Amino acid sequence: MPEGKIIKALSGFYYVVDEGAITQCRGRGIFRKNKITPLVGDDVVFQAENDQEGYILEVKERKNELVRPPIANVDRAFLVFSAVEPAFSPALLDRFLVLVEYNHIEPVICVTKTDLASEPELKRLDEYASGYRAAGYEVIFVSSETEAGVEQLYPYLEGKISVFAGQSGVGKSSLLNVLRPDLELKTNNISSHLGRGKHTTRHVELIEIGDGLVADTPGFSSLEFQEIEAEELGSCFPEISRAGENCKFRGCLHVKEPKCAVKAEVEEGIIPNYRYENYLNFLQEIKERKPRY
């Protein structure tokens, strides 16, 4: 049986690519019975009924999967945040980073609309970028309008399945249009009434950019920490995870425990205050989470 990868899911059909040929497939009824939903990014075994149509017979084991957007086997996440309109939010970025780290996806922080930012705003962004780079993250400043910095993204796309994720209105579709102009993805300006962009992407689809596959994903409608336990949160902050190895007590949550190496690094300015504050806020959120039955 042939094997391929799902590159688009739309209206109950799954579009599977195998050696350049695309077959429109439906899932077998057994998937519904076993509560398996094929996802974009899945490697599958399929049976072709003819040149264009077929059925998915098996979904191969996934290395990860995201719920919103629904996609599997993601290698890299470009976390797209605007310098202005909407304003850059480290608290929201850290929320994205935690979810990406938890799913073992390599993040690249991409700050857009730099052409619209004032000198003081750019200086503030540089300070944030220094903190994230010190933690081990790549931070790239770009402008879809002037195309400044966009060429830096191509090496990160090669041979990977990537997602471009971020809140609505930050310019994900505009950026993808620069990376591959023939896409002509629809974009919308920020709604002045709501202060956020309208959703312009209606489904998840993998598209070829450079030597990789990229999903233009809808803005996340939920960023809750449903699966992450309190003891796991520290591992989703690289600098807290590293410092935590030197804590006196195993299982230290870096809150009130004595001889905590993380708190020491915060006091010394090695770990930025905003990162530690966001960690504490997320930890409290996880502790107060209502159990699911």
Q: Is 20 exposed, middle or buried (0-12, 13-18, 19+ CB in 10 A)?
A: exposed
Residue (of 217, 219, 84) closest to 145 by Cα position? 84
CATH of the domain at 18: 2.40.50.140
Pair (205, 98) in one structural domain: yes
29 vs 135, residue with greater confidence: 135
Pair (271, 257) in one structural domain: yes
Q: Which two tokens stand for residue 248?
A: 């006196």
Q: What is the pLDDT of residues 259-284, one digit of tens each?
A: 999 999 999 999 999 999 999 999 99
Pair (257, 207) in one structural domain: no
Query: Quick check: is 34 in a domain?
Result: yes
3-state secondary structure of 59: strand
Q: What is the pLDDT of residues 106-115, one digit of tens each?
A: 999 999 999 9
Query: Quick check: is 221 in a domain?
Result: no
Answer positive or negative: Cα dihedral of 141, 77, 150, 201: negative
Pair (78, 158) in one structural domain: yes
Please compute the mean of the pLDDT values over residues 157-166 and round it to a whole number: 91
Pair (131, 211) in one structural domain: yes
Residue (of 44, 98, 109) closest to 76 by Cα position? 109
Pair (238, 272) in one structural domain: yes
Pair (104, 165) in one structural domain: yes
Query: Quick check: is 277 in a domain?
Result: yes
**CB contact set of 268 (below 8 Å; sequence gap of 6+):** none
| 246, pLDDT greater than 70 | yes
Q: Is 105 exposed, middle or buried (0-12, 13-18, 19+ CB in 10 A)?
A: buried
Pair (125, 202) in one structural domain: yes
Pair (31, 172) in one structural domain: no
Query: Quick check: is 224 in a domain?
Result: no
Residue (of 182, 88, 179) closest to 131 by Cα position? 88
The answer to whether the beta carbons of residues 1 and 57 sit under 8 Å apart is: yes
Pair (52, 73) in one structural domain: no
The answer to whether the beta carbons of residues 117 and 195 sit under 8 Å apart is: no
Pair (39, 74) in one structural domain: no
Mean pLDDT of the chain: 88
3-state secondary structure of 134: helix
Predicted pLDDT of residue 171: 86
Query: Quick check: is 225 in a domain?
Result: no
CATH of the domain at 95: 3.40.50.300
Distances (CA, A) of 118 to 68, 82, 87, 114, 193: 33, 13, 12, 9, 23
Host domain of residue 257: 230-287
**pTM above 0.95?**
no
Q: How confident is the model at residue 11 (pLDDT cuts 50, 70, 90)?
A: confident
CATH of the domain at 256: 1.10.40.50
**DSSP state, 40?**
B
Please compute the mean of the pLDDT values over residues 47-69 and round it to a whole number: 87
Pair (193, 250) in one structural domain: no
Segments of 155-242 assigned E as strands: 161-165, 190-191, 196-197, 206-209, 212-216
Q: What is the pLDDT of residues 184-223, one digit of tens each?
A: 766 654 333 333 344 444 578 898 998 899 986 554 555 7
**CB contact set of 69 (below 8 Å; sequence gap of 6+):** 163, 165, 204, 215, 217, 218, 220
Integer distance in angstroms from the first to the last C-alpha of the chain?
Answer: 39
Residue (of 85, 115, 100) closest to 178 by Cα position? 115
Query: Quick check: is 241 in a domain?
Result: yes
The answer to whether the beta carbons of residues 176 and 209 sit under 8 Å apart is: yes
Q: How many domains does the chain have?
A: 3
Residue 94 identity: D
Percentage of the residues of the chain whose pLDDT score is greater than 90: 69
Strand 3-10 to strand 43-48: parallel, antiparallel, or no bridges (unpaired)?
A: antiparallel
